[in-house]
Amino acid sequence: MQEQDIPIDINAGKLLDWLINRRHCNKNWHTNILTIRQKINDAIQNMPAHDGIASLLSGAYINYFYCIKIVEILKETEADTKNLFGRYGSQRMKDWQEILRLYEKDNVYLAEAAQILIRNVNYEVPSIKKQIQKLEQSLTEFEKKEAEYKKSENIAHTEYNALCKQLGITGYSTVRRELMDKVKELSEIYQKVAEKTKSLDKVVEFYSAFVEFTFGQQYDSNCVSIIKYVIEKGNTTMFEYTYGEVPASIIEPPLNIKADEDESNGRSSLDTNVIDFGNLDLQREIDFGEEVDLDTGDDIDWGDENAEQPTAAEIYCNISLEESGIVVEASGHEGGVATGSEAHTILDNPTTRSEFINQLFELEAFMKLRLYEFKGDDRNNLLSFSQMQDASSILQLSTIETTQNMLDNIQVILSEILHSNVHHLHNIKHYPRYVDVVAATLKQKLNLIDRMVTQQESMRQKQDDTQNQIDKLRPLLKLVVQRTKELQTEIEQDISKKYKNRKVYLTGGVNML
């Protein structure tokens, strides 16, 4: 094998050391570079308009091989300045020829080219790739965050619509005004509940008969008294329930809701100091603080408990008109004006409403226990039923079907009066602060939706900016890789000339670009 056929393999990372060790370049080659770079910067300022030159000067570090190409172009553009001796009179040509002379002295150009190649392979290309990779990761994170914000927006929309549905409002207009309009439906709802309560007459009779039979005597326990009253007289006013007379007129207290309040002004009382209501549970009763026990001084003397008690009519007759708050009309009509809490109906008044619900639960628990006894052990049932031979017929003739039917009637009424919509409307009517809480909760949901929309727009903008940066870096990476490979080829060819045109291969990271 001849010497020309033996290739020269040089590791690209050690190229500069290889050139210095073989005395192709001096160790202090870099001291001459500053002068050359200054001359290149000055020469660039005075260049002719040429597409080839513009391409060479675009986005790349100008090295010796670029300078050779520039001189070749100047030979065409500055041809008219050439004299008889073949020399150019153009200052441009003289400047670039001087640059080439300084480069070729002690092979400074080769050392600089080796350094540029090493820097591109080890730093420039990996740095640009790392930047692109980091931007792509950021782009993925921005897309994930946008999806999360979109999910949060959808959840807030769902919660807002669900709360509006519970309240029976649309939520598109003034919330407080819609709530005021919905409160008017309470009377109709309570009227329907009162009508259905009349179907509990058999349940109350069954319950009363069982209580009397259990005590073994006539026993007026006054159990489920409010339910009995509603069955008998319906959902009357508290005035009639208290005094036993139908009022001449009813003046309900106005709703303490600021319906005409501007939303922006209304926010000042709720949002100026941002109130965090947490996870608002509108099903819970509002805590109005501790109950205050009035100190009446001496203990009240209730008299002899065994003494005969006066009837309701007698009690009523002993109350003065001023004390009772009844306004007697001049015509002598018996009755008065129901105002304040006395104008509310039994099912609308918070106290009697709670008692009515408690009595329904009492009946429900009783009927569930009777139903359990019917479905229990037959021997226990036989003993239990044998003890009821002296009971009233309604107890003896009860069956699983009749008991289940009575339980179903109770549960239907409970489900209606405990419906979330009824619960909300009741609290809105009687507790003004509850309206503020509801309005603030709905407002917070809307604010959350607006924030999520804003965050999504921000994430989309960041995605666009990141994508633009990636689009700029990718062509730059392609250009640097291309110029590095060109530089590799030029270095290989230049070294090959110094070794009788033997093949030269730069190995290492340069082949992995």
Per-residue DSSP letters for 453-500? HHHHHHHHHHHHHHHHHHHHHHHHHHHHHHHHHHHHHHHHHHHHHHTT
DSSP-derived letter for residue 120 is I
Residue 462 confidence (pLDDT): 95
Cβ-Cβ contacts under 8 Å for 285 (sequence gap 6 or more) = none
Token pair recorded at residue 103: 């480069």
What confidence score (pLDDT) does residue 467 get? 96
Q: Tens digits of per-residue pLDDT, 98-154?
A: 999 999 998 999 999 999 999 999 999 999 999 999 999 999 999 999 999 999 999
Rounded to the nearest integer, the mean pLDDT of the chain is: 78
Span 320-376, pLDDT tens digits: 434 444 443 333 334 578 888 888 888 988 999 999 999 999 999 999 988 888 877
* Of residues 404 and 308, more confidently modeled: 404
pLDDT in tens, 235-273: 998 988 888 888 888 888 877 666 544 444 333 333 333
Q: What is the pLDDT of residue 41?
A: 87
CA distances from 473 to 62, 139, 293, 305, 401 (A): 20, 14, 78, 97, 81
Tell me the pLDDT tens digit for each residue of 231-242: 999 999 898 888
Task: Read off the pLDDT of residues 160-196 as tens digits, 9 standing for 90 and up.
Answer: 988 888 777 887 667 778 877 778 888 889 999 999 9
CA 376 to chain centre: 51
Tell me the percentage of the chain whose pLDDT exceeds 90: 31
Q: Which pLDDT band, with edges at 50, 70 and 90, does 304 fall under?
A: very low
Alpha-carbon distance of 327 to 329, in angstroms, equals 6
Using the predicted structure, report yes or no on whether residue 491 has a pLDDT greater than 50.
Answer: yes
CB-based contacts of 205, cutoff 8 Å, min separation 6: 394
Backbone angles phi, psi at 292, to 5 degrees: -100, 125
Task: Report pLDDT digits (tens) over 56-99.
Answer: 776 557 888 888 888 888 888 777 677 655 677 778 888 888 99
Instruction: Decide the pairing of beta strands 8-11 and 504-507.
Output: parallel
The residues, ordered by sequence, that sit 6+ positions from 373 with a Cβ below 8 Å of its Cβ are: 380, 381, 384
Per DSSP bridges, beta strands 249-251 and 504-507 are unpaired
Checking if the pLDDT of 512 tops 70, the result is: no
Q: Is the pLDDT of residue 307 over 80?
A: no
Q: What phi-psi label fits residue 60: left (phi over 0), alpha (psi between -120 and 50 degrees) or beta?
A: beta
DSSP conformation letters of 366-422: HHHHHHHHHTS-HHHHHHHHHTTTTS-HHHHT--HHHHHHHHHHHHHHHHHHT-HHH
Q: 300: pLDDT confidence band, cut at 50, 70 and 90?
A: very low
Structure tokens given for 143 = 């897309």
**Residue pair 373/381 in contact by the 8 Å Cβ criterion:** yes
Q: Which residues contact 309 (CB under 8 A, 6 or more apart)?
A: none
